Amino acid sequence: MKVRVGVISPYKAQVHAITEKVGKRYSSDAQNNFSVSIRSVDGFQGGEEDLIIISTVRCNASGSVGFLSNRQRANVAITRARYCLWIVGNGTTLGNSESVWEKLVDDAKKRNCFHNAEEDQNLAHAIAAALLELNQINDLVNADSFLFKSAKWKVCFTSAFWTSMRRVRNKELSKKVLSLLEKLSSGWRQTEKERTPVDRSGESSSLFVEHYKVNKQLYLVWSVDILAETSNCTQVLKVWDILPFSDIPNLSNQLEISYGSYTVEKMTRCMHRSRDGSLVVPMKWSVDSSSHEADPMQFLSKPLASLSLRDAPETSSKTKR
């Protein structure tokens, strides 16, 4: 059985870009059992394939779809498939286009054929990898990005982290970092045996800062911090940087100043662990019910070295969050 796939784009530049990525992996020879043909809309005129994938390219709130607003071009694009048609595009843009594309989106939603790529883990990773490869990091900077929409933990990033991510320019490494962040935001944590020990003598920040191995050279450095909102204080993940192991003590020294200004109460909240089965879930405290801040002199008189994550209070998921 032979399967022929056609990929259609309205722009020659994207046809070239897709050919560079896909054309080297799959044959375009229709005599093979599996072939992929990548052409513009005009290039497909009069032709058919078993499965057609259309890239509509444009992404905007105004509904501008460029060349595809031409009814003849749209008709050619959507009638090239013998058995199956996939349209890859921005739902908002197509839905606001006041054209046949808007009708297609409405019809797809009614028939449960409208899918959000960001909700599929494999597709979300592919999108993230593409953005990283194109150095479009800003689309991932937002903590509410598609990678963390369903996460248990809110993730906050430092500018140093994104600077390191831009510097990496390695797709596989970037994927590993994002995968690790997703696991952390879901509540997964390494066991004591999996962790790489660091000399923690005299390092107050080392009581809070964690470092998880990404590859043989680099580690993801993160901690739990407290985000104060209108009526609640909530635990969040603070992602500091991606560093070689030898640079971690240096960062710890810098963070010591920051953590040294925390009160005992805030430090205790940072160290608090609440579990839901095998996962660690964020704690939430009401601002109204929070206890009084500890006396600064009491804080100074308590040696930081006496604190330990192993001694940190831990609760089950029944604790108020």
**Same domain for 109 and 190?**
no
- Residue indicated by tokens 């960001």: 118
Does residue 321 carry a pLDDT above 60? no
Mean per-residue pLDDT, 43-56: 92
Domain assignment of residue 50, yes or no: yes
> Is residue 62 located within the same domain as residue 157?
no
pLDDT in tens, 277-301: 999 999 999 876 544 443 333 333 3
**247 occurs within a structural domain:** yes
Same domain for 274 and 154, yes or no, is yes
- Does 304 share its domain with 175? yes
261 close to 210: Cβ distance less than 8 angstroms: no
155 & 259 share domain: yes
Task: Using the predicted structure, report yes or no on whether residue 271 has a pLDDT greater than 60.
Answer: yes
Per-residue pLDDT, 117:
86
What is the CATH number for 29? 3.40.50.300
Neighbours of 2 (CB within 10 A): 10
Is there a single domain that holds both residue 189 and residue 230?
yes
DSSP conformational letter for 242 = E
Q: In this structure, are 203 and 96 located in the same domain?
A: no
pLDDT tens sequence across 167-222? 877 778 888 888 899 899 999 998 877 776 655 444 434 677 899 999 989 999 99
Q: DSSP string spanning 85-110?
A: EEEES-HHHHHTS-SHHHHHHHHHHH
- The CATH number of the domain holding residue 288 is 3.30.2310.20
Q: Which of 115, 133, 161 is where one domain is finished?
A: 115
Structural domain containing residue 8: 3-115
Q: What is the pLDDT of residues 122-138, one digit of tens each?
A: 788 778 877 777 777 77
Look at the chain and report how many structural domains it folds into: 2
Tell me if 280 sits within 8 A of 316, measured CB to CB. Answer: no
Q: Is residue 124 part of a domain?
A: no
Say which residue, 313 or 13, is predicted with more confidence: 13
What SS3 class is residue 133? helix
Cα 48 to chain centroid, rounded: 37
